[in-house]
Chain A
Amino acid sequence: MASTMVLGIAVLIYLMLTCYCGWMGYKHTKSTDDFMVGGRKVNPFVLALSYGAAFISTSAIIGFGGYAGAFGMGILWLVFLNIFVGIFIAFVLFGSRTRRMGVNLKAVTFPELIGKRFQSRFIQGFSGLLIAIFMPIYTSGVLIGGARFMETALGIDYNTSVLMLTIITAAYVITGGLLAVMYTDAMQGVLMFVGMAILMVLTYSKLGGIVEAHQALTNLAYLVPETMTQQGHNGWTSMPTFGSPIWWTLVSTIILGVGIGTLAQPQLAVRFMTVKNTTSLKRAVLSGGPFIFMMVGVAYVVGALSNVYFFNTKGMLAFDVAGGNIDKIMPEYINSSMPDLFVVFFMLTLLAAAMSTLSSQFHNMGTAIGHDLYREYIMRGKIGHTISITKLGIAITIVISVILAYILPAGIIARATAIFFGLTAAAFLPMYVGAIFWKRMTKEGAIASLLVGSFSSLFWLTFVHGKEATALGISQAIFGQATLLTGTWTLVDPILVATPLSMLVAIVVSLLTKPASKEHIDKCFGK
């Protein structure tokens, strides 16, 4: 009872802080530039925390932490990629060029940056459409995660939770734009950082120290069930057997898919255009790296170590304690091992993780519809009712995400995230890399890469990659077989096929077509 009251008060304080940050954003939002890119003068600390908080959702902590509980620490390679590629490469190499080109071309969204670089409204419109259609799947995944947590922790009905989460987040996104999103993200980021830091310290101290905890986990390897060993599981402190089904999923979908896919996330890339100069981006690396380490690094290590705790206290593995549902490993571990007060605090950490990701998705879907699709593609650049349409776009995509959150099957959270990351990597990454690093890349090359990346990724997802193809059933309906290819192919993630293909097409088509004029390239690259 006491903890329910503490939880209630804590949530109330958290919501008040969120409202305050949202109001701050609203107060400082006076122009379209403010609403879209935070007026291009956001503080580096706010950038780093907001980038990290938007990047890390409940699914990263609960979903992938649970995955570590079941399959072990091999997923730490994803943490390394998240820090090295997702922060260092992204901020230092991509960030500075993206920011500069964004200013030179007066671009306020990710599709607009690419569209203007290649002088193509089609690229901007199509990219906007892709975001508007597919981001709601990712958003609904985050929404489901947040609402399921509110249902378990606060005892609020699932349907009410979905609506509450949506309404509160939508309110500050629609009124305050990107500034409100970033200020609240930063506040939520601080909360997440503290929550995860405490979780790390408590877990290691409970298990007798760092080396002792790891050694105890290594010693549990003999408990891996026979069925898992056959799939390639070699214990929680060993990589799965090379080429086994578990290895393919871990390496192709999780480590590479999410690790590389981050670079081409439109809701993250747009943040590079919110800061004043390259120095801000370099300063942001300082807090960005440790932040990601503390979020995912801690979640995965703790997820894996939960096996030691459960074995010591219940004589069971985490997977069995969670009743075979890996999404329940982290909540089960925290509820049974941590002090009550921390459980309350951790609930807030998760709420913050869900809301910070949701808000940036809402904002990005809205600008994709209002700015990229409506203003630039349909109205041919005329301002019209851009801000109103953007707000309407935010509202429409929110409604779609909410509907999806009601109808999508259970266990979709991590899948939904991976599908979106894979699609954006194939569709946007080669075009984005070419836009900022390769002056010879042409409009035709970019369009070809965008189309080939999008459709080959969707094709592989629908007809070859076992997990989605079987669930969708389209291949079964048309060809009478669950997947068109068999064997190892059905384990290879779309990102590994579609992204190289899209990159190849970008290079070949660019070399075969006429380069853009020198004046335009000079304008883009600022010479």
Chain B
Amino acid sequence: MFGIDDPQIWMAYLLCIGGALGCIIYGLIHWNEKDPEEEN
């Protein structure tokens, strides 16, 4: 995959991209979420 034969490497490559995208999605979903335990 992606010109990389070893699954241990292309998995890491995919996980890096997935991780970064996941962070963006998480940030957007929770953008306005208030923590019930916090008053401010």
Q: Which residues of A contact B (CB under 8 A)?
A: 72-74, 76-77, 79-80, 83-84, 87-88, 92, 96, 100, 210-218, 234, 237-239, 276-279, 282-290, 292-294, 297, 301, 526
Contacts and interface: CB of A to CB of B under 8 A. Distances in A.
Given A218-B4, A239-B9, A277-B38, A282 B33 contact: yes
Contacts of B32: 279
B23 A214 contact: no
25 contacts: A76-B9, A76-B16, A80-B15, A88-B23, A100-B37, A213-B3, A214-B4, A218-B4, A239-B6, A239-B8, A239-B9, A277-B34, A277-B35, A279-B30, A282-B26, A283-B31, A285-B30, A286-B23, A286-B24, A286-B28, A289-B20, A290-B24, A292-B20, A294-B20, A526-B37
Contacts of B35: 96, 277-279
A83 B16 CA distance: 7
Interface residues on B, range: 20 to 34
Contact of B6 (A210, A212, A237, A278): A237
Contacts, number: 116
Given A238-B9, A278-B38, A293 B28 contact: no
B23 A210 contact: no
Nearest to A210: B2
A83 B19 contact: yes
Contacts of A277: 34-35, 38, 40
A76 B24 contact: no
A293 B38 contact: no
| Residue of A238, A283, A287, A289 with most chain B CB atoms under a 10 A cut-off | A289
A204 to B, nearest CB: 11
Interface of B: 2-6, 8-9, 12-13, 15-17, 19-24, 26-28, 30-35, 37-38, 40
Contacts of B5: 218, 237-238
Contact of B23 (A74, A87, A276): A87
B23 A237 contact: no
Contacts of B26: 88, 92, 282, 285-286
B13 A73 contact: yes
Nearest to A301: B13
A107 B22 CA distance: 32
Contacts of B24: 286, 289-290
Nearest to A87: B23
Contacts of A73: 4, 9, 12-13
Contacts of A213: 3
A212 B23 contact: no
